[in-house]
């Protein structure tokens, strides 16, 4: 009997969060180990279905870098990166679109639907959802030490999110699952970083939360402890002193972008933890780093 009562207490503890978030929109960037390990895929799909059944609207933006690289190598094409960004010629873009929009997107949709959800797959091309422009980056040349502009090819950055298609799906109980592919000004297909797409979608929808799933416990301090809460004003200092470094820089920047556009809270969460979404959303302690305005 004590065990049964304990289960009831857990549900009651979640009640204030359910009341607070009912009818709100959460945008979730899904990637990393949570997207590749079967048991984590199952727990993610169950979390999403549960959130929707209790009245929280979810929008998923997914990545797929490792699967893209694996498919490229199978097809005899070597992946090339500059500052962590994939150099994308037309042949690579065809592979990216095939893997993201075909293989990965439909797998996520199928998994959520199998657990009782109503997911619909989209790419940025659908309904003009993601408008983008070509992105360039700079790198220091070894010979001169000067900055050189690098042409990444068909790599883009978001210029506009058209939210009406997402709103229409959400209002009828569907769960949008979006692959981060945008359309350029001349109709060209562009490959975009999924963290920044998720931030742009959250901003356009004025979402309650942006949640980025990653393969680390959260943002760590110099001693390796999780920074559970971070204010936007602290980010510059922590970047300068090397606390925020490497792959965490674009994730934190995506969170900053979303906060600047009216998203209430942003979270960087360890996707390797089963049911990480429920633990972050419905417990006082949470399990990752929340970044606030």
C-beta separation of 29 from 194 below 8 A:
yes
Residue 98, helix vs strand vs coil? helix
Catalytic residue at 224?
no
Catalytic residue at 65?
yes
Catalytic residue at 125?
no
The residues, ordered by sequence, that sit 6+ positions from 284 with a Cβ below 8 Å of its Cβ are none
Kind and range of the H or E run holding 5? helix 2-21
CA dihedral 121, 105, 150, 129 (to 10 degrees): 0
Other Cβ atoms less than 10 A from the Cβ of 136: the count is: 11
Catalytic residue at 195?
yes
Catalytic residue chosen out of the listed positions 31, 63, 64, 65 = 65
Q: What are phi and psi of 288, to 5 degrees?
A: -130, -145
The residues, ordered by sequence, that sit 6+ positions from 246 with a Cβ below 8 Å of its Cβ are none
Rounded CA Rg of the chain = 19
CA distance 263 to 164: 18
Catalytic residue chosen out of the listed positions 47, 126, 195, 270 = 195
With CA atoms as reference, report the closest residue to 136 among 148, 118, 125, 121: 148
C-beta separation of 64 from 35 below 8 A:
yes
Catalytic residue chosen out of the listed positions 32, 63, 218, 288 = 32
Catalytic residue chosen out of the listed positions 46, 209, 251, 265 = 251
Q: What are phi and psi of 28, to 5 degrees?
A: -120, 120
The residues, ordered by sequence, that sit 6+ positions from 210 with a Cβ below 8 Å of its Cβ are 26, 27, 28, 29, 198, 199, 202, 254, 255, 258, 263, 265, 266, 267
C-beta separation of 34 from 272 below 8 A:
yes
Catalytic residue at 102?
no
Other Cβ atoms less than 10 A from the Cβ of 98: the count is: 14
Instruction: Show which residues are catalytic.
Output: 29, 32, 65, 195, 251
């Amino acid at each position: 009997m004590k065990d049964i009562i304990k289960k009831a207490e857990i549900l009651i503890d979640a009640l204030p969060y359910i009341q607070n978030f009912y009818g709100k929109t959460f945008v979730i960037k899904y990637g990393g180990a949570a997207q590749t390990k079967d048991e984590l895929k199952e727990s993610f799909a169950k979390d999403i279905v549960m959130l929707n059944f209790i009245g929280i609207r979810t929008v998923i933006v997914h990545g797929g870098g490792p699967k893209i690289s694996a498919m490229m190598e199978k097809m005899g094409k070597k992946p090339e990166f500059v500052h962590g960004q994939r150099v994308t010629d037309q042949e690579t873009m065809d592979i990216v679109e095939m893997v993201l929009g075909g293989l990965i997107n439909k797998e996520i949709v199928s998994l959520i639907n199998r657990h009782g959800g109503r997911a619909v797959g989209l790419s940025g091309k659908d309904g003009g959802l993601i408008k983008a422009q070509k992105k360039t980056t700079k790198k220091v040349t070894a010979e001169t030490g000067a900055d050189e502009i690098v042409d990444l090819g068909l790599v883009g950055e978001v210029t506009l999110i058209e939210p009406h298609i997402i709103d229409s799906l959400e209002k009828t109980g569907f769960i949008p699952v979006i692959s981060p592919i945008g359309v350029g000004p001349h109709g060209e297909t562009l490959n975009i970083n999924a963290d920044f797409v998720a931030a742009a979608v959250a901003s356009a929808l004025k979402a309650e939360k942006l949640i980025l799933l990653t393969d680390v416990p959260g943002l760590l301090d110099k001693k390796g402890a999780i920074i559970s809460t971070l204010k936007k004003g602290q980010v510059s200092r922590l970047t300068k002193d090397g606390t925020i470094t490497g792959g965490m820089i674009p994730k934190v920047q995506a969170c900053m972008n979303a906060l600047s556009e009216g998203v209430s809270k942003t979270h960087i969460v360890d996707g390797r933890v089963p049911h990480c979404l429920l633990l972050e959303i419905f417990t006082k302690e949470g399990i990752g780093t929340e970044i606030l305005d």
